[in-house]
A and B are shown apart, each in its own frame.
Chain A
Amino acid sequence: MKKALQLLAVSALAGSLVLTGCGSKPAAEPNNAKKAGGTLIYGRGGDSVKLDPHNVTDGESFRVTENIYDTLVDFEKDSTKVIPGLATEWQTSADGKTWTFKLRQGVKFHDGTDFNAKAVVYNFERMWDKNHPQHKGDFEYFHDMFGGFKGEGSVIEGIKAVDDYTVEFKLSRPLAPFLANLAMSTFAIISPAALEKYGEKIAQNPVGTGPFKFKEWKPNDSITLEKNDQYWQKGLPKLDKIVFKVIPDNTARLTALKSGEIDVMDGLNPSDVKQVEADSKLQVLLRPSMNVGYLAMNNTKKPFDNPKVRQAISMAINKKGLIDSFYAGLAQPAVNPMPPSVWGYNKDIKDYEYNPEKAKQLLAEAGYPNGFETDFWAMPVARPYMPQPQKIAEAIQADLAKIGIKTKIVSFEWATYLKKTKNGEHPMALLGWTGDNGDPDNFLYVLLDKDTANPPAAQNISLYKSDKVHELLTKAQVTSDQAQRTKLYEEAQKIIHEDAPMVPLVHSRPALAAAKSVKGYVPHPKGSESLVDVSIEK
């Protein structure tokens, strides 16, 4: 008998709690920043993997590490031009094999230790030398950008501290993108003392020289950073605190922005841009494009080994139609495999015109007057360069059907998809690429050189192997003069255009949204940026 009574009492109590919760009007989120600088809440779709920049490749990790760490050299705020960072000036030897950097003095890590040449050497040896006590991890970017680790084909032959504030890199051969590489977020400088203290746990306890200090990480929920009062750039940062908050659902994230729970959101759906523009309290921020979404054709498989077939497909796809339907206009048709925002882009190349009739003719010349049947792979997840891959695949399917090519759309779970395409199992597949360092090499060499066309780890999933292109691209890699390199890349783009190993579809402009009160936010083409001079002004 008592039990029922207890039950009733508990029910009544809880019931009244629920009722009061719904009935009274709680102030939803106090949006009024209490301090001068204020807290910026950044809503994003996923959590960081690790806050050890040397050991990650994902954008969500860099978005945070860029605020905690500095790099030797940096990119300009809105372009991929290289500017001083922790290094104030640099020199290359005549043969292009020795790079000397003068370092900024008086900079301290968040743990109070000094930043100097020894720290730089420590960091690079950690990545370069497999025998370094702190070399625990994949160091994937280091491996890819510098050709391997110590004694395993690395371009880097030695790193040494000439004096307290001078560092020298010795290379085995000239590497043109060297400086641009160093500006990548992954080559950030970590406090050696912290590395020794935390070991692999540095990934959860980051210590750098950057504008913000790490405070707290609640996995899959939020990462909190606090202002570094000792930052070497006077008067910066402007904010007191940044909270990176994970809200996976795009719609829910926009709701949170509208209700003032967050101040900035990443990953605005193109279809929501108009709605945000119409809201007087919000602003749309467009990121300059540094990506390409493309249709890869497996050049080693029939009938795609025939350039005429590939050209026919290039003519059959209505890129403008795709952009109107799926990108809400936030993209431009791609002509080359690299975006115009990257230097070295060949403006003289005219895209294949959209012309199904001519495409049919070409197919007939290639020996397929009635077209053919093939599988067409579409990725299962949206990417910045491909917001609705399945729908885009259907649109392309319809375009190809017009010239007699019957396609069956196939998809796999994302990791499997990547694995199988790297293994060259596909006939035709959708994919894309976002640039790392703003260098043409990072697009053309990665996506279309014969060196990268080797299954099971092909990044050039068109498996395009042209000796002429290879010669141009590798020559450009060892040339330090930018004007000369530009010529080599322009030439390579010409050949690629004629061979049509893939169909470059679009360069998309990812959109962000922010409250109007957020000032000074400049989205960087590389996909994430430091919030050092962002402020909140009411």
Chain B
Amino acid sequence: MLSYTGRRLLQLIPVLIGMSVIVFSIIRAIPGDPALTILGERATPEAVQELRLQLGLDKPLITQYATYVGHVVTGDLGVSLRTKKPISEELVPYLTATIELTVVSILIAVVVGVNAGIIAAWKKASWFDYIAMLVALIGVSMPIFWLGLMEQWVFAEKLGWLPSTGRINPREPIEAITGFYLLDTILQGNWQGFWDVFQHLILPGIALGTIPMAIIARMTRSSMLEVMKSDYVRTARAKGLSEFWVVYKHALKNAFAPVMTVIGLQTGTLLGGAVLTETIFGWPGIGRYIYDAISFRDYPVIQSGILVVSALFVLINLVVDLLYAWLDPRIQYK
């Protein structure tokens, strides 16, 4: 396991280098003077000159790249043109907002998806199976924005059960410590606040989690069906174990590895879907941060935002691969 982890970490190096090269080229690939592109035509020559020096544009490309990587490694992601604040500082609340939403979404997706898939496989060809698979089919093809607006219309506007936008009730604000509000409210022992944050997470969490939920359900079902046919399951049954234990303990363990991969991939995809969800639900996350940066041509933010999101994506994949290996030790020897 240790050597596998080491190998897997080493493999990250070329990926990270490739990523940084792409992000580095974002500004430089635009025709014309990057400093002028960044500052716009209103900029004074002094300001352009200053930025040129700051970006090191007078030096050879390879030196510029080295400087850039040096900055990134030390946590210096540049300064936002729009707000003039350091991006590494500005990014944090957006990032925590997105991570909190993503974690809840994937949790909903995994819990509901895996269990629906298991039951559907267990009770194959029952009414539950048909309905679950129909719902999954609809779920995969559902546009996020439509689902989001529908949820708001039904649960916020018509029924008034849940809040439709934002992370908290602005009338009763919460003090941020870590930026993960669920955690923050627990740390403060603010249970009403926790409940409030939780309610705000439900609708966007479902909107974002629906597609992965559907995919996970389908994957779990087919994987389970495969495993349930195997000999050792038959043996377990013959030993007189209850059907529940056979399914949840014996079968699930072997069926879970492929599901794990899907979960990993879907978690990465969630980051993309987050832009739409964040816009509809007024969620101040990283997707919106980058989107706004694009509309304002805030190149340093676009650059660093993409870098952080792709790093996150790579990280999730790494974690998934390691979990996979942990679940199925044969993987490491391949």
| Residues of chain A having any CB pair with chain B under 8 Å | 1, 3-5, 7-8, 11, 14-15, 17-18, 21-22, 25-26, 28-30, 33, 39, 41, 43, 46-47, 49-50, 138, 140, 200, 203-204, 216, 218-222, 224, 243, 245-249, 251-253, 255-256, 258-259, 261, 414-415, 419, 422, 456-457
Contact = CB atoms under 8 A, between A and B. Distances in A.
Given A15-B115, A50-B84, A216-B173, 16 more contacts: A3-B253, A4-B249, A11-B114, A26-B195, A33-B171, A203-B83, A247-B282, A248-B279, A249-B282, A255-B152, A255-B157, A256-B164, A259-B164, A419-B41, A456-B41, A457-B42
B167 A3 contact: no
Nearest to A4: B253
B273 interface: no
A252 B42 contact: no
A218 B93 contact: yes
Contacts of A33: 171
Interface stretch (B67-75, B122-130, B289-297, B310-318): B289-297
Interface residues of B, number: 59
Interface in B87-129: 90, 93-94, 97, 107-108, 110-112, 114-115
| 8 nearest A-B pairs in the assembled complex, by CB-CB distance | A221-B284, A247-B282, A220-B284, A243-B170, A259-B156, A28-B160, A255-B152, A14-B111
B57 interface: no
Contacts of B166: 221-222, 245, 247, 261
Contacts of B167: 221
Contacts of B110: 11
A18 B108 contact: yes
A258 B162 CA distance: 13
Interface in B181-230: 195, 198-199, 202
A253 B164 CA distance: 9
B279 A249 contact: yes
14 contacts: A3-B253, A14-B107, A21-B199, A28-B162, A50-B83, A204-B85, A216-B173, A221-B93, A246-B284, A252-B280, A255-B153, A259-B156, A419-B40, A419-B41
Contacts of A221: 93, 97, 166-167, 282, 284
Interface string B293-334: 001110000000000000000000000000000010000000
Interface string B159-175: 01111111101111100
B149 A252 contact: yes
A203 B84 contact: yes
Given A4-B248, A224-B173, A258 B94 contact: no
A233 B126 CA distance: 73
B234 interface: no
B171 A30 contact: yes
A381 B97 CA distance: 27
For A3, A140, A200, the residue with the greatest tally of chain B CB atoms inside 10 Å of its CB is: A3
A49 B112 contact: no
B115 to A, nearest CB: 6
